[in-house]
Structures are given as C-alpha cells and as structure tokens.
Amino acid sequence: MALDPGTVRQLGLRLATEQSQQRLPSVVAGLVRGGRLVWADGAGMVDGRAGGAPPTSDTQYRIGSITKTFVGVLVMRLRDEGLVELNHVVATHLPETADTAFGQVRLAELLSHTSGLQAETAGPWWERTAGAGWSDLLASAPQLRFRPGARFHYSNIGYAVLGELVCRLRGQPWEAVLQAELLEPLGMSRTTPRPVPPAASGWGVHPLADLLHVEPEHDAGAMAPAGQLWSTVEDLSRWAAFLAGDTSGLLDGATLEEMCLPVAVNDNPGLPWAAAHGLGWQVWNLEGARWAGHGGSMPGFLATLRVNRDSGDGCVLFANATSGMSTTVTKDLLDILADREPVLPTPWTADEAQVSALELVGDWYWGTTAYTLRLAGEGHVVLGEPGVRRGSRFRPTGSGWVGLDGYHEGEPLVVVRDARGAVSHLDLGSFRFSRLPYDPTADIPGGVHDDRWH
C-alpha cells in the first residue's frame, strides 16, 4: 500500500522531532502493515556530525535484548520437536549445572524471567567489556535473587543459559542455529552477530553538553544470546511480520500465541498493570489493546519492536545513543498510521456453515444466571459476553468446542442430547446450561426440588 503524502510528512516530522529534541545522533524507523514494510525514514547522521551519512532502512544498529526474542523462538522450536519440555530443569540438558544455584530452574522460568536468577554477571559490566566463554560464566557462580517462580526479575544471564541450551541440543553455536533456522528462511540477511557496513556508530551523548563519547563494541561471548545482534529496519520489519502471525511455517501459530500470553507482570507498585513478560516476548496492555515485542539497549544503541496483536500493525525503531529516546515515539508513529490510514473493516458475508449449529442459539441458564449463545465465524460460538460474568468465546474441536478466554479458557463445551436426539443441555467443564432455570428435564446436578418453582 502507498501511504498518503500527508501521512508520510507527519511521520517524518515526528521522527525528525525525536532526533532533534531528544539529541540523538540518528534515529531510523519503519512501520509494518499487512506483513510488509509500508513506511521507513531516518533523521540525523549516523556519525553524529553535520555532513555525515544519514541513516537508511539498510543501516545496521545494535538491537540489544530484542536478540532474546530470537533465542526464545529457537527454544520453542526445540519444544515443539519434542527435544525439550518447558518444565524441564536446566540440569536436564546442561548436566554441569546440577550443583549450581540455577540447575533446578525450569526452562519456562528462564524464558519468562521468573527464574529468580541474578540480572547481570558478577564481573565487569558485560555490555562494555569483551565477553568470556560458557565455562567462565559457569565459574562465576550466578546466584538466585528470588525463589524460582515467585516473581518477575529480568535476567540477562538467564538468556545466556538458554543460548547454551540451543547450542548443546543442536550441536553448533547458537548464532549458526539462528542463521539456519530463522534468518536465512526469512530472508533476514542483514541481521548479524557483529556489524556489517553500512552500520551506525554507537555514541554516548553528554547529558549536559552537546558532546559525544565513543561506546565500545565487542563479542559478548557466552552473554551474546542476551543482546548480541545487529539488524536493520528492513530486516526487523520481517521479524515484526513474524510476530504479527506470518511465521512462514517456521513456528506453529498456537506456539506463537502461547509465547505472547502474559506470564509475569512487570509490576510497579501504585501503578496499573501495563507491561508483562511472556515466553521470550514482552507484552503490553495499553488502552485496551494487546501488544507484543521487545525493547533493546546496549551502550551506544536503543531499539524497539512493537506489534499490535489484533491489527498486525507494527513499528521498529533504532537510535545510536546510549540513552535519550522518548517513551512515546513508537506509539506516536503507530497512532499517526492508524488515524490517517485507517484499515477498512472486513465486509460481512453470510456463513451457511452455521446452519448446523443454529439450534443452539438463544438463551441458556447456568443456575439462575442467563447467558445468550450466538454463532461466530470459523465455527466459533460465544456464550454470554466475553469478560463479563464468565462469558467466553469457544473454538470448534472434534467433539464440541473449547474455551478461548476468561474463566472457561481451555475448558470443553459439549452438547448433550436426549434419547430422541434433541438437545438436552450444554455441559461446560461439568457445569450444566439448560434452556430454563433448573429445568427438570436437563439433568441438573443435585436434582430439582419436588416443589419446583413456587
């Protein structure tokens, strides 16, 4: 799709304002819709000086912790192949960790940052010093800060452990596995462990003066799975499309949904819940919309990837500064796209397949509480109002339906018929829904009192 020139100007203005007001050497961004990059632009100069090279959608920037999302997908691919289970403990696959503090931590806890493992390495600031190998990381004896599973506690070391797990089970370095299993099939040729020109330089901007300081870049060694990768707007836009559901068969859709479920809330006391962590992905609950993605920072670089899980619209954003990016720029760019380029709703059409379930529509009663059942697309049914008094949506299975949300998520819904084949009642995880409150013909658990309604 071609954006309206007015939309392009508004997006470019917002990006240029970000670069100027936040004092960023350069900033570059892209918007994704319908699985492809529909807009990209940059502002500033990658070397931070007037007359230098401007950034483009093919300029590499460090993506920091967005690297973790790739590692998470690699682990879930291992799970889907039956090579690991999320409830396996680390020592199951890395036996040398059996006597360590984290050897009995579960893989799911590492993926969701609920392992309790310390956030950073015990040695010098790993993001600014040359990295060591796995044996050195193990020798530093990482400790647990909290009981595993007790709470959210972000851990870079946890993803170093997951990277070693991928390496051990695939028999080659994690970055080689990443290249073969994800980057090459997705055509992400400009996503690499180290910079490949054209690439932006990393800068620290003096907080009280208009001066720059060179930030170091190196191989992080065993810590690389926590934040090693470099990428471009064009490449990371393909990863945004992956997150929006276009996985090209590299990950089952149900597994992607599982990864994006909020597992641990990143709680700030006194503030409403807005951010959480799933399995490898950050998730956000913003103004009633669910988002997924990840942020990234390394000395000299900032990065953001965020996708609306309902609409599929996404944003990727890079800057080559250690700090300074505003908290609203990603939302602002996506809001401009949504407001100025609204997506037409899908036209309504009749669905003849619903005839087979038409006898189920109407009012049902659980005890004395009324629920209206209606049919929806793709064979789904909706019982009550989702999110209100245990109302839920259900998708079809071979023997009935299964809950998609709310109290009844994962619970089976079955139509029970009498000897004549007529619908007697609905069984929802042992709950009985009858056409009338306490219908004596509907096999009400506990029976119906002899006095009936009186």
Range picked from 182-191, 346-355, 383-392 for highest mean pLDDT: 182-191
Across residues 275-300, what is the average pLDDT? 94
pLDDT at 441 over 90: no
pLDDT reported for residue 448: 84
Task: Supply the pLDDT for residue 446.
Answer: 83
The confidence score (pLDDT) of residue 164 equals: 98
What dotted CATH number matches 1-345?
3.40.710.10
pLDDT range class, residue 453, cuts 50, 70, 90: confident
What local confidence, expressed as pLDDT, does residue 276 receive? 94
The per-residue pLDDT for range 196-210, each reduced to its tens digit, is 999 999 999 999 999
What would the mean pLDDT of 419-425 be, rounded to a whole number?
A: 92
Say what percent of the chain tops pLDDT 70.
Answer: 100
pTM attached to this predicted model: 0.93
Q: Map out the domains of the chain as residue ranges.
A: 1-345, 352-433
pLDDT at position 84, please?
98
pLDDT over 90 for what percent of the chain? Answer: 85
Average pLDDT over residues 291-298: 97
Stretch 403-423: mean pLDDT, rounded? 93
Task: Please determine, for residue 308, whether its predicted confidence score (pLDDT) is greater than 90.
Answer: yes
Residue 450 pLDDT exceeds 90: no
Confidence of residue 271 (pLDDT cuts 50, 70, 90): confident
Asked whether the predicted pLDDT for residue 182 surpasses 90, the reply is yes
Tell me: pLDDT of 167 over 80.
Answer: yes
Mean pLDDT lowest among 3-7, 27-31, 126-130: 126-130
Q: Average pLDDT in the 161-172 region? A: 98
Name the band, by pLDDT with cuts 50, 70 and 90, for residue 124. Answer: confident
Query: What is the rounded distance in angstroms from the CA atom of residue 279 to the CA atom of residue 269?
Result: 23
Whether 269 has a pLDDT exceeding 80, the answer reads no
Q: What is the predicted pLDDT for the residue at 226? A: 97
Amino acid in the structure at residue 245 = G
Mean pLDDT across 112-121: 96
d(CA 159, CA 75): 10
User: How confident is the model over 375-389, as pLDDT tens digits?
Assistant: 999 999 999 998 888
Give residue 130's pLDDT band: very low, low, confident or very high (50, 70, 90): confident
Average pLDDT, the chain: 94
